Amino acid sequence: MRRLFATIADRYDFITRFLSYGQDRRWKRRAIRLARLRPEERVLDLACGTGDLMFEAAAATSRVVGLDVTHRMLQLARARAARLPEAVRPRCGFVTGDMSALPFGGGQFDVVTTGYGLRNVPVLTEAIAEIHRVLAPGGRLVSLDFNRPTNAVIRQAYWIYLTVVGSGLGLALHGDADTYRYIPESIRNYPGAEGVATMLRAQGFQGVEVIPVLAGFMAIHVATKRV
């Protein structure tokens, strides 16, 4: 994953906009609204990429740490952070790290956000356990990600669409049709929004919500760590 995202980092924002029909930023703003951030809260944005979610959060709260396994993503995020308003810029920090083994003590954050992060971890239960560990009691998780359609016909059509479009983009942008095949493959191995909700509850989250986006092809999870 680190090598793959280092390859696509400079094109990442374009790809997310393209595959979301230009709706990606709007979905992320909605996710941050659902986080119900308060000014005093500490936020951890996992798989932060170039910083979309963390910069939205930084406008509403006092401290946001963006973590990503790919150093190039953080370089791009830092460059964007330098263009933030002077009052917001100091609120942002960056850490290179693995969301399955977070370099933070327990209960350090009030809110954890992630965009397209849970679907790409090798062992999802480990990442959810780490998120639960670093959240303070009563802390919230908000995750935006692709969904896995439950209908077999729709699911197959979805995979074919993402494979064909991804192959074209890979050839056009990188000269390699396989570059973006990780997207349909990651969805193929993903338990889907309801499956993730079940895993969150099993880990100790409560009030778990699944909010469909783009007619259910995407989803936002909102969950709270038990007090």
User: Is residue 5's pLDDT more than 90?
Assistant: no
Q: What is the pLDDT, as a whole number, of residue 81? A: 96
Of the pLDDT bands very low, low, confident and very high (cuts 50, 70, 90), residue 166 is confident
User: Is residue 1's pLDDT more than 80?
Assistant: no
Contacting residues for 186 by C-beta, under 8 A, at least 6 apart: 119, 120, 146
Token couple for 59: 């406008």
**What structural domains does the chain harbor?**
2-148+190-225 (3.40.50.150)
Comparing CA positions, the residue from 181, 111, 113 lying closest to residue 144 is 113
User: Is residue 105's pLDDT more than 90?
Assistant: yes
Q: What is the pLDDT, as a whole number, of residue 179? A: 87
Q: What is the pLDDT, as a whole number, of residue 131? A: 98
Tell me 97's DSSP state: -
User: Is residue 152's pLDDT more than 90?
Assistant: no
pLDDT tens across 43-73, in order?
999 999 999 999 999 999 999 999 999 999 9
User: Is residue 2's pLDDT more than 80?
Assistant: no
**Strand-strand pairing, 135-146 and 218-225:** antiparallel
Comparing CA positions, the residue from 25, 20, 109, 19 lying closest to residue 67 is 109
pTM over 0.85: yes
Bridge partners of 225? Answer: 205
Q: How many CB atoms lie within 10 A of CB 88?
A: 14
- Burial readout 143-158 (b: 16 or more C-beta within 10 A, e: otherwise): bbbbbbbeeeeebeeb
pLDDT tens across 175-217, in order?
888 888 888 888 888 999 999 999 999 999 999 999 999 989 9
- Residue pair 166/184 in contact (Cβ under 8 Å)? The answer is yes
Contacting residues for 71 by C-beta, under 8 A, at least 6 apart: 6, 96
